[in-house]
């Protein structure tokens, strides 16, 4: 796709040489003003920042659409094997800067806007975050989409278009309060509603036996149908015309009318019932360690899986008639267990609808799925109660039972009648609540099982999925997580981006991150150090302003900014960080005045959301705010120590905080963080890491050298003995009361 290959083909095909939109400043200005007038419906002589943002976004979107169409045409013609990335969560954040930069026309837009009296950055701030995800897993999905586009892959992302994204966090009296994130309130110029790309998704009902070809076959008679409508989000690559699609599904009432209710005159109730369908895609579940028994969550999973597969199969059938070719054209990546019903759904479609025999369908299924897991904890693995599945998806339950039957028979041949192991490895868990182990289903049917760091993969092999590893060692692999430098340097730290390009003498690192290593040659260059220091200083000033605006705390930019931003979790140990801050405060208080000059002034910054039902995490937030209140109001300590809790941590806040950080903390208890990706974002912004040997930090340590980071804490093999020993920490008296009160 690079070098305009697609464009040339398309131009020749349609003779559309002059059709494409121009991107010189005056064409852009005309374009923006036209959108002000005709899209936003405001006078071109009077519009505010938000309206200017809307017009600008539509103008960028027009250019995205051109490339997007070219890409679709190109791939339709070439018919390559496509990657389908199925994920319940995508944390895209804002789109304007990212899109304009990837299209290579950000500066042209900035110039065009300047003459109109607007600043590009100011307009970019008008955009709200698309927060359709919880944390690392969801942001990884977003980074992956950017990289797939940039690397010219024919990829599609599939997910859910939640009307309410992750809750907004408001801090009142130090406590977290959750507010709904109705992010579509002001419209979303980055999506295109596809009113004609809709599929029926069915639930409930019964399964009947039907005569077929002299034998019997199963027929599912569903009890409810909901319509899935596609919303397409074009994702542009950088330095290529490849623009891929993130297709998110929204639930709409089906066109099929419940005639009975209408005929019995219960018109109002019939309409209200139809409206209920929309609840399926209405709200993102906030991170919860257990969704057991949550029917809506299950409905969401199947809803997006069923719609996505209908779409994928339709695309395949457009140019193929034999399903044996399916694995040559389709790769399905399961982002954690959440989309695992896709396995049973493909079997159902192939066997019940396409009438393939079971073994042929199974053979196909085993070639198309790959599974990535993002957790370390066995208790984090999803289980679905059989009762619930039986009522919601009766045919799928039968299929899962059948898969399990064949698999256990096969397993007996391989491992003998070791009933303990057979029972551990079974897809069906017999217990007080009989359930389906989604991870087991995913492993059995996938040809690769990916961990997200080397350590994580080792844990999968030796603990979490040990039985499976011993059976199928070839399936287990890992791809250590990464982040896109386009979002985490170019978009969020433009001055550093310019500095890097200047010193490397090229912008090629924006597509190929390995080229950053070229800076090593300049490692001792004092001019580079000075320029970098200036960049950091300006970013710190920007962050200091934000901190003051959000929390009223004035911080000194000459202090060290020590940052821990991530979801609040016991294993991530924000609590340990706060205890460390209390200790630091205590030391300063007890120090001789003359010794205080040796203390490096420090601003500790903590940010993150707690799952609404996670009491301890909520209390950690309260503790943090209570300690901040005490320290920040102690004039005796002044600028030597400050603590700030940044509310409503999200992608945009991260983009602001990371470039201004001097030190960042990644101090999870060793053996608990599957990978961690925040560390990579800080690192590529030149920030020092204070980290435990956990997840991807082990590989980071090998890459940058132990001497270039602050390693901290117990190693994985030391943790069990420490747990056994119990706590040894002493909290200074003056805080013991605060900690006891809050915790």
Give the span between the Cα atoms of 134 and 112, in whole angstroms.
36
Which member of 7, 252, 299, 374 is catalytic?
Answer: 374
Q: Which is nearer to ligand F58, 57 or 690 (CB)?
A: 690
Three-state SS letters, 413-426:
HHHCCCHHHHHHHC
Q: Indicate whether 677 belongs to the interface with ligand F58 (CB under 6 A).
A: yes
Selected from 313, 640, 674, 690, the binder of ligand F58 by CB under 6 A is 674
Q: Choose the stretch contacting ligand F58; rule: CB under 6 A; options: 207-215, 430-438, 636-644, 669-677.
A: 669-677
Binding mask 544-583 for ligand F58 (x = CB under 6 A): ----------------------------------------
Long-range Cβ contacts of 469-477 (<8 Å, 24+ apart): 471/411, 471/414, 471/415, 471/425, 472/443, 475/443, 475/446, 475/447, 475/448, 475/449, 476/448, 476/449, 476/451, 477/448, 477/449, 477/450, 477/451
Q: With contact defined as beta carbons under 8 Å apart, do 44 and 90 qualify? A: no
Q: Indicate whether 654 belongs to the interface with ligand F58 (CB under 6 A).
A: no
Binding mask 77-106 for ligand F58 (x = CB under 6 A): ------------x-----------------
Which member of 566, 619, 622, 666 is catalytic?
Answer: 566
Closest distance to ligand F58 from the beta carbon of 653 (Å): 17
Q: With contact defined as beta carbons under 8 Å apart, do 191 and 174 qualify? A: no
Give the span between the Cα atoms of 311 and 614, in whole angstroms.
37
DSSP conformational letter for 283: B
User: Does 677 participate in catalysis according to the annotation?
Assistant: yes
Q: Which is nearer to ligand F58, 344 or 680 (CB)?
A: 680
Give the span between the Cα atoms of 660 and 677, in whole angstroms.
17
Which member of 238, 383, 681, 692 is catalytic?
Answer: 681
Strands 435-437 and 383-385, sheet pairing:
antiparallel
User: Does 569 participate in catalysis according to the annotation?
Assistant: no
Q: Is 608 left (phi over 0), alpha (psi -120 to 50) or beta?
A: left
List, in sequence order, every residue forming a beta bridge with 689; answer none if it has no partner: 664
In terms of Cα–Cα distance, which of 64, 92, 244, 80 is closest to 155? 244
Q: Which is nearer to ligand F58, 232 or 673 (CB)?
A: 673
Closest residue to bound ligand F58 by CB: 136
Burial 563-591 (b: 16+ CB within 10 A, else e): bbbbbbbeebbbbbbbbbbbebbeebbee
Q: Indicate whether 438 belongs to the interface with ligand F58 (CB under 6 A).
A: no
Binding mask 258-287 for ligand F58 (x = CB under 6 A): -----------------------------x
Selected from 166, 452, 510, 684, the binder of ligand F58 by CB under 6 A is 452
User: Does 567 participate in catalysis according to the annotation?
Assistant: yes
Closest distance to ligand F58 from the beta carbon of 381 (Å): 11
3-state secondary structure of 233: strand
Q: Which is nearer to ligand F58, 306 or 375 (CB)?
A: 375
Selected from 676, 679, 680, 690, the binder of ligand F58 by CB under 6 A is 676
Closest distance to ligand F58 from the beta carbon of 353 (Å): 30
Selected from 98, 301, 440, 481, the binder of ligand F58 by CB under 6 A is 481
Closest distance to ligand F58 from the beta carbon of 609 (Å): 11
Binding mask 121-160 for ligand F58 (x = CB under 6 A): -------------xxxx--x--------------------
Q: Indicate whether 675 belongs to the interface with ligand F58 (CB under 6 A).
A: yes
List, in sequence order, every residue forming a beta bridge with 602; answer none if it has no partner: 560, 641
* Residue entry with tokens 């039986």: 390
User: Does 572 participate in catalysis according to the annotation?
Assistant: yes
Catalytic residues: 374, 566-567, 572, 677, 681
Chain contacts with ligand F58 (rule: CB under 6 A): 89, 134-137, 140, 287, 374, 452, 481, 673-677, 695
């Amino acid at each position: 796709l690079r070098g305009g290959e697609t464009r040339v083909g398309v131009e020749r095909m349609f003779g559309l040489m002059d059709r494409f939109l121009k991107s010189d400043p005056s064409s852009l200005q005309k374009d923006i003003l036209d959108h002000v007038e005709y899209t936003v419906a405001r006078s071109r002589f009077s519009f505010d920042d938000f309206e200017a943002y809307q017009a600008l976004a539509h103008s960028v979107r027009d250019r995205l659409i051109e490339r997007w169409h070219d890409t679709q045409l190109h791939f339709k013609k070439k018919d390559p094997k496509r990657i389908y990335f199925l994920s319940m969560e995508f944390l895209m954040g804002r789109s304007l800067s990212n899109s304009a930069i990837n299209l290579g026309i950000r500066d042209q837009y900035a110039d065009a806007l300047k003459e109109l009296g607007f600043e590009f950055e100011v307009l970019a701030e008008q955009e709200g975050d698309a927060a359709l995800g919880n944390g690392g897993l969801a942001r990884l999905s977003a980074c992956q989409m950017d990289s797939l586009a940039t690397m010219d892959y024919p990829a599609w992302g599939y997910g859910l278009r939640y009307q309410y994204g992750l809750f907004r966090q408001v801090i009142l009296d130090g406590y977290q309060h959750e507010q709904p994130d109705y992010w579509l309130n002001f419209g979303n110029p980055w999506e295109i509603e596809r009113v004609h790309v809709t599929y029926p998704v069915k639930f409930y009902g019964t399964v009947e036996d039907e005569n077929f070809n002299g034998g019997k076959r199963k027929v599912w008679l569903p009890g409810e149908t909901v319509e899935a409508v596609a919303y397409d989000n074009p994702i542009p690559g950088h330095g290529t015309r490849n623009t891929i699609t993130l297709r998110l599904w929204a639930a709409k009432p089906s066109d099929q009318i419940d005639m009975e209710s209408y005929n019995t005159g219960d018109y109002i109730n019939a309409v209200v019932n139809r409206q209920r369908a929309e609840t399926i895609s209405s709200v993102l579940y906030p991170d919860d360690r257990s969704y057991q028994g949550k029917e809506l969550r299950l409905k969401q999973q199947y809803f997006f899986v069923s719609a996505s597969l209908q779409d994928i199969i339709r695309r395949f059938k457009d140019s193929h008639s034999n399903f044996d070719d399916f694995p040559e054209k389709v790769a399905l990546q399961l982002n954690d267990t959440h989309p695992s019903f896709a396995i049973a759904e493909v079997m159902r479609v192939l066997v019940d609808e396409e009438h393939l025999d079971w073994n042929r369908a199974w053979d196909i299924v085993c070639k198309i799925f790959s599974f990535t897991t993002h957790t370390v904890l066995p208790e984090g693995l999803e289980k679905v109660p059989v009762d619930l599945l039986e009522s919601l998806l009766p045919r799928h339950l039968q299929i899962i039972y059948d898969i399990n039957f064949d698999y256990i028979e096969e397993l007996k041949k391989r491992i003998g009648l070791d009933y303990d192991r057979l029972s551990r490895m079974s897809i069906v868990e017999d217990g007080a609540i009989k359930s389906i182990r989604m991870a087991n289903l995913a492993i059995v049917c996938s040809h690769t099982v990916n961990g997200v760091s080397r350590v994580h993969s080792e844990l999968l092999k030796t603990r979490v999925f040990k039985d499976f590893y011993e059976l199928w060692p070839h399936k287990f692999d890992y791809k250590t997580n990464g982040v896109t430098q386009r979002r985490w340097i170019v978009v969020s730290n433009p001055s550093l981006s310019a500095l890097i390009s200047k010193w490397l003498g090229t912008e090629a690192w924006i597509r190929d991150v390995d080229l950053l290593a070229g800076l090593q040659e300049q490692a001792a260059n004092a001019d580079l150090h000075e320029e970098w220091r200036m960049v950091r200083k300006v970013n710190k000033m920007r962050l200091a302003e934000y901190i003051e605006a959000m929390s009223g705390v004035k911080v000194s930019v000459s202090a060290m900014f020590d940052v821990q931003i991530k979801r609040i979790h016991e294993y991530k140990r924000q609590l340990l960080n706060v205890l460390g801050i209390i200790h630091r405060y205590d030391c300063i208080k007890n120090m001789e005045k003359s010794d205080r000059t040796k203390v490096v002034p420090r601003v500790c910054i903590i940010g993150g959301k707690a799952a609404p039902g996670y009491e301890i995490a909520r209390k950690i937030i309260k503790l943090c705010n209570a300690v901040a209140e005490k320290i920040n109001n102690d004039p005796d300590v002044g600028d030597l120590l400050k603590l700030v809790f940044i509310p409503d941590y999200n992608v945009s806040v991260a983009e602001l905080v990371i470039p201004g950080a001097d030190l960042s903390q990644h101090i999870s208890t060793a053996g608990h963080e599957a990978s961690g990706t925040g560390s990579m974002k800080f690192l590529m912004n030149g920030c020092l890491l204070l980290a435990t040997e956990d997840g991807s930090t082990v590989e980071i340590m090998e890459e940058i050298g132990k001497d270039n980071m602050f390693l901290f804490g117990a190693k994985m093999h030391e943790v069990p003995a420490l747990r056994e020993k119990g706590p040894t920490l002493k909290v200074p008296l003056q805080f013991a009361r605060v900690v006891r009160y809050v915790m």
